[in-house]
Structure 1
């Protein structure tokens, strides 16, 4: 399954990537499952996408829960919560 992954704000800075296209050997995967696979790739990914960290996720421009099931050719965006004033 081919997925486009986009990274924003501090996650992008930690990984040194704006986006990437990856192939997952599965017909579908949850956001948590995808995060686990990404975390396993490097220490930087483990820190940036740590499951204890409050990371927000959008799939095809819609906010989703960690149990959301991703399908072929989806665009997944990871970003930390934003504060402002």
Structure 2
């Protein structure tokens, strides 16, 4: 006999019916069904739509512009002198 025996589920069902009533439970079930259908429809339409292309950077836009350092690295072959 577990914590969720069939007797427990029966008691929970009776309490829910007494608190909410059968008419309200029917409308609640249909409302939840419509909400799930609407959610599925919204998810499917989002997948089918094309994402907008990113905006082209403008001349004064430095956020998207790659930055480089001016100059060139030089190789040093001679060891450092200690004085």
Larger radius of gyration: 2
Give TM-score scaled by structure 1 length: 0.19
**Greater strand share, 1 or 2?**
1
**Greater helix share, 1 or 2?**
2
